[in-house]
Structure formats: C-alpha cells, structure tokens
Amino acid sequence: MIDKIKNIIRQELEVNLSSHYGESINVVVEEPKSSNLGDISIPVFSIVKTVRKPLNEVADTVVEKIQELEVRELFKEINRVGGFINLTLNRLAFSKKVIDNYFVNGLSVEQVGKEKTIVIDYSSPNIAKPFSVGHLRSTIIGHSIGNILEKLGYQVVRINHLGDFGTQFGKIIYAYLNFGDKQKVEENPIEELVKLYVEFHELAKENPILEDKAREIFKELEQGNPEYQKLWEHFREVSLAEYMKVYEMLNVHFDSYNGEAFYNDKMQAVVDELKVKGLLKKDEGAMIVDLGNDMPPALIQKSDGSTLYITRDLAALFYRKNTYHFDEVLYVVGNEQKLHFEQLKAVVRKMGYGFYQDIHHINFGLVLQDGKKMSTRKGKIVKLEDVLVEASNLSLDYINEKNPCLVNKEEIARKIGVSAIIFNDLKNYRTNDVEFDLQEMVNFVGQTGPYLQYTSVRISSVLEENNFSNSELMYDLLVQDHSFDLIKTIAQYEEILNKAKEEYSPSVLAKYLLNLASYFNSFYAKEKIMVDDLKERNTKLCLISIIRNILDEGMNLLGMQVIRKM
Ligand code: ARG
C-alpha cells in the first residue's frame, strides 16, 4: 500500500506542480535513508534545477501542494530537512486504512496480469533417467511462480517439456531387446533402464558397432517403426508414472506433458524457415546458425540429418506462440543451460521475431549437501520420493514427541515434511545454491517451513476458540511499534507479490512471510490477546486473523500445503 500511496503522491504532485510552474516537472518519491526521518521522502533538487528558482521557494511550494492532496490525511507530519521533504505516517489513520481495506477487499490484489498469458516450462525430467535434484528445484520454483502469476491475474500455462527424445532411446531399445529383463523393468523401471543404458556403454566400448546399431534403431523409431514406437511409449509411460509419485507428493500439476518427441514432426518447418531466411550455414556437413562473436553458433542439424535439443526447443517455442499466444515464456532450468537459452533467443531474434524479448530463462543454482553438489546420478541413486518420505518421518517423530494423540498425524507430518523441503528451496534467491540439510529444514525454530506452519497453527488455535466481530475496533491500539510493524507489513503484501513477479523469484514472498511471522511472534510475546475489554480483544483477534490469512495464502502460493493443527 505504501507503494500505491507513493505513486499517488508522485502523479498528483507532478500534475499540480507542472501547472503551477507552467512546465513539465518530474517528481521523485522515495523512502528516507533512515526511518526516524519519516516514511516517505521527496527530494526537491531536481525540481529546483528544472524551474531555476531558489531552493527555499521551491520547497515551500512543494509543501503547500502536498497539503492540498487527499492522501495528506494519512500523514502526521511534513518536515523539511535540507533539500528533502519528509512525510511521517499518521499511524492511526494508516492502520484504519489498512484494516478497512482488508474488510472490503480481503487479500485480493490488482489484476495486473488480466488478459495476459504466460507459459511456464518447468520440471521437464528426462525419460528413463532419474528425476534429479535439479528437476526438483525446477518443479518447486516453477510451480510457485505459476501460483504467484495466477494470483496477479495472469493466465498461466504449465508445461512439462519431458526429455523423451534423442539418440539415447536407440541405445536403450537395443539393450532392452538384447539383454533386458522385462519383469525387472516392470518392477523398477527407471533403475533398470539406467542400468541397461550403462551396460550398453560398457559393451559399446569393446564393440563400437553397437553405436551404429543404436543409431539405426533411433532412426527407425523416428520414422515410425511400430515395434520401437511401442517400446518407447512403454518406457515413457513407466517413467512418467514414477515422476507422478513425486508430483502427487508435491501437489504439482501441469496443463501439458508434451515433451521433445511431440515436436518431431514440427522441426522441418523451422529448418525450412531458417533456410528461406538465409540463416542456415553448412559447417563440415552440419547445419548451423552463426551467432556472431558473442556466442558459439547454434547447431541445428547434424551431418546425418538428425536434429538437436535446440531444434526441438525452437519448434516448441513457435508451437507455443501459435497455440497459446503468450505474452511471456519462462524456462525454469538450471544455470548450466544459460548458453542454450541465450542461443535460442538469439536465433529467434535473427529470424526477425520481436518476441525474442519475451523469452526468459529463469535460472537457478545447485543443490549442495555438505557443501558439495548433490547428485541423484552418481553412484547410488537417491530417490527423491525417498527423500520426501524421510522428511515426513522426521516431522512425525517430532509430533510423536510433542502431541502423540494428534488425529491424522501421518497426513499432517507429510504436509509439514514436504513443505519444509519446498520452503528451504524457496527462501533462497533462486540463482544461489541451496544447502540441503533435512534435519535443519524440518526444525520448528529458525527460518524454516515448519516455523511458518507453527505460527499459522498457533494463530488458528486462538481464533478457533474465540469469535470476534469487526464492527467495533480500537484502532489506536495499533499505533505502538510492535503492532504498527505488523500493520506496515500487512500493507506490503501486494507489493511483495508484484516484486516476486518482477524478479521471478518466490524468495521475495518467502522472506516476507518469515518477517511477518517473526513480527507476529514478538507481538504475541508482548500482548495478551484474551483481555476482558471486548473492543480491545476484537481488535487483536482481527489483526491476528489477517496475519494468519496472509501466512496461509502465502504458503499456498509457495506450493506448501497448510495445516490447521499440529
Ligand atoms: N530435459 C531437460 C533437462 O533435464 C530440461 C528441459 C528444459 N526445457 C526446455 N524447453 N529446454 O536438462
């Protein structure tokens, strides 16, 4: 709300001052360097420069114009300090405005995304390979960005661009047909398919002819050989079934599972267009798009005619543009694919499409365990499903210790455990690496998911026992520091959501929720809620119910499932 007020002041002052001076004036409205100077600050130097009048005279005029504004009533003091005019909020008026606004609008926010569509490409694991921790990050971040965008009114299309295409399928099919065990693949699809893939490589080392065989099989698969097609479909299906277990636990869903294979018949059109536009160059038999000195060329077609990852991404991009008419497309993929997405953008730009500017690579850092890159690939495969289960078990231990009779405790523990992992990821700015320490993230104290859940449950239990009405409130209760911190934080909610969108980073929201929870907890330590005075009690209950609702909605937007009891 402060941002909105700042905007109103800026716009209205610009109009009034421009007409006063008879020339166009730009006004800057900022936050003062130190909070004891007030809540809003307006520097007048640039206005002085524009109108070429003495500082004192200009400052007096600006103060006079501020006095005439309607939002003036929200401020207690207007002070001039040197070249700055500082405004201090009238806490009573501001608190009333914040609370009244909540009663009228609830937590609804301006629908800035109305009639805009954003496609988000996230998760996107590779068939017949394990779901990596990188895919987990992509899933968590992408899902949350999608939720935040929807809250802001955007139409969101969630796409799981499965890695279900490429020469490795020739190898897997060869291995499966020659030394695979159908039964085993049935029981443990991903583990077995990975084994077959590794085995294939070992054999191919001694017998390079196998590589040719695999290539041959892949070529036939591309051309629609029914036997291979059926196997490929089967591998895709059993892999997807494994991934679905993770998605179900995380409560994540997609609008489309069209993976790379879906674009098999849509790539030729792209290649043709590149050719017509004179962008394709022959390079040792391969086809490339030259991207100048800043970047290596994009390899579009190998010398044997087969296409590449970027070729399929180009086809997917045009398909999405034509199907969804997106305003932006987001690719939630790790830092290591930075060059790939830069090349994708550069090729689209060279093709003459302005929408290259709407392509955003939402990159992210690594997951670290004891400071080292955590991997699900090397050595023993860490199954993410198992990790999620382990987090749930740790939470269950905690409940068994504190509240063993809790009804539905397994379900509650699962929600706490899984949401702890989600929050641990999202509290970090996405490009930073994330430390994966299960013990720490399921802790109820500290900057954790369980701490937020606990705070919400604590408020809920107070609210459950007490009805309150919002008809008679004592707003002057809210002006003390520890209450007004809460009011100001509540007032920031909408700005925080917009900032999270701007940076495509749910961490903005995650950190905000931690702040809100900690302000609440210090408020709760100082104030008794269940006082005899009805008005006072009402006011406090009303305040904490707003906090609880923001915490719950915020957690939901991050993709955490909120619990009511623990
Ligand atoms: N399957 C890829 C991988 O695991 C990620 C795909 C990301 N999306 C895209 N359109 N390229 O590395």
pLDDT digits (tens, 9 = 90+) for 438-472: 999 999 999 999 999 999 999 999 999 888 887 78
* 509-517 mean pLDDT: 98
What percentage of the chain carries pLDDT values higher than 90? 87
Residue nearest to ligand 1 atom 11, measured at CA: 313
pLDDT at position 378 is 47
Across the chain, mean pLDDT equals 94
Beta bridge partners of residue 40, listed in sequence order: 87
pLDDT at position 60 is 95
Residue to mutate (ligand 1; options 119, 131, 161; most atoms within 8 A of CB):
161
Contacts of 33 (CB under 8 A, 6+ apart): 41
Residue 530's closest CA among 509, 548, 544? Answer: 544
User: Residue 163: CB within 6 Å of ligand 1?
Assistant: yes
Question: How far, in Å, is the centroid of ligand 1 from the Cα of 177?
Answer: 28
Contacts of 3 (CB under 8 A, 6+ apart): 495
Question: How far, in Å, is the centroid of ligand 1 from the Cα of 268?
Answer: 20
Residue 97's alpha-carbon distances to 9, 32, 74, in angstroms, are 16, 22, 9
The H or E element spanning position 45 is: helix 45-51
Tens-place pLDDT, residues 368-377: 988 888 865 4
User: Residue 259: CB within 6 Å of ligand 1?
Assistant: no
Asked whether the beta carbons of 61 and 47 are under 8 A apart, the reply is no
Provide the token pair at 30. 């900022």
Question: How far, in Å, is the centroid of ligand 1 from the Cα of 309?
Answer: 9
Question: How far, in Å, is the centroid of ligand 1 from the Cα of 505?
Answer: 19
Task: Kindly give the number of the ligand 1 atom that is closest to the alpha carbon of 333.
Answer: 7
Provide the token pair at 114. 């109305």
To the nearest 10 degrees (0 to 180), the angle between helices 481-502 and 534-558 is 20
User: Residue 174: CB within 6 Å of ligand 1?
Assistant: no
Residue 85: phi, psi to the nearest 5?
Answer: -110, 120
Residue to mutate (ligand 1; options 133, 236, 337, 376; most atoms within 8 A of CB):
337
Q: How confident is the model at residue 335 (pLDDT cuts 50, 70, 90)?
A: very high
Question: How far, in Å, is the centroid of ligand 1 from the Cα of 163?
Answer: 6
Asked whether the beta carbons of 140 and 337 are under 8 A apart, the reply is no
CB atoms within 10 A of CB 64: 11
pLDDT above 60 for 527: yes
Residue nearest to ligand 1 atom 4, measured at CA: 125
* 362-386 mean pLDDT: 76
* 262-283 mean pLDDT: 96
Question: How far, in Å, is the centroid of ligand 1 from the Cα of 310?
Answer: 10
pLDDT above 90 for 53: yes
User: Residue 168: CB within 6 Å of ligand 1?
Assistant: no
pLDDT above 50 for 379: no
User: Residue 130: CB within 6 Å of ligand 1?
Assistant: no
Report how far residue 388's alpha carbon sits from residue 243's, in angstroms, rounded to the nearest whole number.
13
* 137-145 mean pLDDT: 98
pLDDT at position 288 is 97
* 67-93 mean pLDDT: 94
Tens-place pLDDT, residues 12-50: 999 999 999 999 999 999 999 888 899 999 999 999 999
User: Residue 40: CB within 6 Å of ligand 1?
Assistant: no
To the nearest 10 degrees (0 to 180), the angle between helices 189-206 and 209-222 is 130
* 348-374 mean pLDDT: 94
Question: How far, in Å, is the centroid of ligand 1 from the Cα of 447?
Answer: 31
pLDDT at position 307 is 86
User: Residue 161: CB within 6 Å of ligand 1?
Assistant: yes
- Report how far Cα 486 is from the mean position of its chain's Cα atoms: 25
Residue to mutate (ligand 1; options 120, 333, 335; most atoms within 8 A of CB):
333
User: Residue 523: CB within 6 Å of ligand 1?
Assistant: no
Task: Kindly give the number of the ligand 1 atom that is closest to the alpha carbon of 309.
Answer: 11
Report how far residue 259's alpha carbon sits from residue 367's, in angstroms, rounded to the nearest whole number.
25
Q: How confident is the model at residue 382 (pLDDT cuts 50, 70, 90)?
A: low
pLDDT at position 384 is 82
Asked whether the beta carbons of 299 and 311 are under 8 A apart, the reply is no
Question: How far, in Å, is the centroid of ligand 1 from the Cα of 182?
Answer: 28
Residue nearest to ligand 1 atom 5, measured at CA: 124
Report how far residue 471's alpha carbon sits from residue 374's, in angstroms, rounded to the nearest whole number.
54
User: Residue 164: CB within 6 Å of ligand 1?
Assistant: no
* 184-203 mean pLDDT: 92
Residue to mutate (ligand 1; options 120, 121, 122, 124; most atoms within 8 A of CB):
124
Q: How confident is the model at residue 257 (pLDDT cuts 50, 70, 90)?
A: very high
pLDDT at position 223 is 86
Question: How far, in Å, is the centroid of ligand 1 from the Cα of 199?
Answer: 25
Question: How far, in Å, is the centroid of ligand 1 from the Cα of 341?
Answer: 10
Residue nearest to ligand 1 atom 1, measured at CA: 163
Residue 248: phi, psi to the nearest 5?
Answer: -65, -45
User: Residue 313: CB within 6 Å of ligand 1?
Assistant: yes
pLDDT at position 210 is 95
User: Residue 538: CB within 6 Å of ligand 1?
Assistant: no
Report how far residue 384's alpha carbon sits from residue 461's, in angstroms, rounded to the nearest whole number.
33
Task: Kindly give the number of the ligand 1 atom that is closest to the alpha carbon of 163.
Answer: 1
